[in-house]
Chains A and B, each alone.
Chain A
Amino acid sequence: MSVLERTPVVVLRDAAKHFGPVKALNGVSLSVAPGECLGLVGHNGAGKSTLVNLVNGTFPASSGEVTFPDGTQGVRSVFQELSLCANLSVAENLSIAHPDLKGFGWRGPARAEILASLDQVFPDHGIHPDTEVDQLTIAERQMVEIAIGFAPRGGAARLVILDEPTSSLDEGIARQLLSHVKAFCASGGAIIFISHMLGEIFDVSSRIVVLKDGVVVADRPAAEFDRQGLVDAMGHVAPEGPQTETGRAALGEVVIRAEGLEARRGEIVGLSGLAGHGQAAALARLYLAQTSDWRAGRGARAVFVAGDRPRDGVLPLWSILRNMSVSVLARDAKGGLVDTGAERRLAEVWQKRIGIRTGDLTNPILSLSGGNQQKVLFARALASDASVIVMDDPMRGVDVGTKQDVYAIVRAEAAKGRTFLWYSTETEEVCQCDRVFVFRNGEISAELTGDDITEEKILEASFEMMEAS
């Protein structure tokens, strides 16, 4: 095979990346040769994005090495989230990533180059290079971004990383992209193609690499995989023993029915599927619908446990105690003043119940580890009287021990009749639920209950199983 004779564009040797105690990537060896289209698949948190960021140099490897035998020029990334400057025109966005366009008269060449690239990848695209990006539809923006990735930009693209490039494109446009990818590889370019559409992966890849828990579990030519084999390889998270059904209260009446899902009293409802398929947005809408009624008065029906702690969780300047009690200040107040005695008693009770490891509750919240900060947020929510607890992927970056503690608390609280709405990107957590709604492309693609909640069923429902063609 001629592929093997060429110098690879990028070689990873035992590359690993750790974020604190979290091992996002745990020793990956991989190389991409010119003319090759590498399909990269894996479930959420398998390390795909980390791998991409190592290759495009967003951050260095913690150990091992990432080398480019012919240098890093011509290595491009098309990111999953849109990363154009919305206030600039299409041609101006190209020029930002094009070091040679400067001095007078850079506009003409920029227009010509982006137009040529758009024409090549997406014939009949109908995008004018002088249009400001915020006037374009999401799909058109994605097309511009892809075209900038393939544009020569004073050299030539040698390796283009496409991270979920078709998620916002319709089928016809996606097919144009796939045929361009094939042509690009045929002319000696290399591609790393990440997609949740298995049909597309089979369509364009010459080789498929399966990542799981930060390691490569399979790396074979595409022809040696079939659909089921690929889903199997992406794999199993061994369930944490059989779920204990004992001690769980019989499910009560339906307390929430919205967004196409419903939840009963005492039920743990999971929202699953691949990250970014509308779960977080549905959860936020649900929560706001429960709590935004200004006539409701004190004591909201629902409380929120944030997963993105810095953004919508901790109050970074406050102590552990105050972070915990903020949800119940109004309830426990005496004549409009904070009852500091009750506040302290409450915090001490919850410190014991939930096991927050600190000597002094008046320490600042940021003195705690991430897992313990998360426990404080759980305590904040559970200390309130709310009957519905909304959890937005709260276990992100939390160690295993803490997770087990929290699962136990969640089960105990559900048994007391509280309802949990739990969005999680980890299948193991979703398996803790009584009922699971799997999201795909912003819609619920499956509802699973009881014994149907298995890794395979969730994977099957979250991946597009149909042909890309």
Chain B
Amino acid sequence: MLARYRILLPVISLAVLLCLTFWMQPRAMSYFGLNLLFNLAVPIALATIAQMMIIMVNDIDLSLGAFVSLVACVTATWLNDAPLIGALILLGLIASYAAMGAVIHTLELPAIVVTLGMSFVWGGMALFLLPTPGGASPSWIRTLMTIKPPLIPMAVVAAILIAALTHILVIRSKIGTVLRGVGGNTRSIARAGWNVTALKATAYGLSGLFGVLAGMALVGLTTSADANIALRYTLLSIAGVILGGGEFTGGKVSPVGAVIGALTLTLAASFLSFLRLSPDWQIGAQGAILILVLTARLLLSRKGAAT
């Protein structure tokens, strides 16, 4: 039954932060205001889902920020200039992520080391593509990201869509269930006759897919790219997964929570600007919010274990 309540804490954190923001800045309580607040949350939410796919199988991805940057560079150059080749490159990147998962499993390498190494590979390739900031967003992505649906702003619609689709994929579908099982007890999955290498490759491939989507969404918002555009996504995505009720081990993840976690982190940045906090202090304050939420979770889970 506790599982039902695991989602409550991220929801409450977001609601509290949202109320505080509206209280500080009532004008944010509008179609336009919400869109501004959550616009940048869309790529972060996608990156958080990508990270969640890896954490789901008990690994961690330290290359995600560099990977999203590389995708952004590919999107702003090749995908814009020669869409077919650009699309092939992006597919190749997803495949290389899947291959990375298979290699990590078959050679029993620590994911943290492999992905750290790969982050330099992705970073180098991104610099090679775009040594200086530049490029341009393909117009269809730009249109998609700036679309204005009636009543609810695009950023909110996108967040709900991402949460719903990944919930079906990870929690409801059979393959998602088996993938979570890999995180829970790899041996029992292998005993039931599944090919764990293929499963790990699937999880990493899904992570690559969402990483690619994150990079494309980011270029759609910023209209250009540079090689370091998304480096901070690595840690943001990990924080988002954990804020959303996920655990580092044991395959306990929540896609809805992860999206909410990403929204909370984005909102925290805006909230701190509204407080007129000097940017020097903002990162520290963001960390403080994170610690606060995690403390609340720890207290709740202790209480749950005691009863």
Contacts and interface: CB of A to CB of B under 8 A. Distances in A.
Interface of A: 58, 77, 83-88, 92-93, 95-97, 99, 101-103, 106-107, 131-132, 135
Interface stretch (B176-184, B268-276, B284-292): B176-184
B185 A83 contact: yes
B183 A87 contact: yes
A101 B2 CA distance: 27
A84 B184 CA distance: 8
Interface string B126-163: 00000000000000000000000000000000000000
Contacts of A132: 3
Interface string B200-243: 00000000000000000000000000000000000000000000
A86 B192 contact: no
Given A87-B250, A88-B184, A96 B177 contact: yes
Given A87-B183, A87-B250, A132-B3, 12 more contacts: A77-B191, A83-B188, A85-B180, A85-B188, A86-B184, A86-B185, A87-B251, A88-B177, A96-B181, A96-B192, A99-B193, A106-B174
Contact of B191 (A83, A95, A101, A103): A83
23 contacts: A77-B191, A83-B191, A84-B188, A85-B181, A85-B184, A85-B185, A85-B188, A85-B251, A86-B250, A87-B180, A87-B184, A87-B250, A87-B252, A88-B177, A88-B181, A93-B181, A96-B188, A96-B192, A97-B193, A99-B193, A103-B174, A107-B172, A135-B3
Contact of A83 (B3, B187, B252): B187
A135 B252 CA distance: 13
A99 B178 CA distance: 11
Contacts of B7: none
B7 to A, nearest CB: 13
Contacts of A92: 177, 181
Dominant secondary structure at the A interface: loop
B34 interface: no
A92 B250 CA distance: 15
Contacts of A103: 174
A82 to B, nearest CB: 9
B84 interface: no
Nearest to B172: A107
Contacts of B252: 87
A135 B2 contact: yes
B1 interface: yes
Nearest to B3: A132
B174 A95 contact: yes
Nearest to B2: A135
A66 B212 CA distance: 49
Contacts of B185: 83-86
A88 B180 contact: yes
A95 B188 contact: no
A135 B251 contact: no
Contacts of B250: 86-87
A102 B177 CA distance: 11
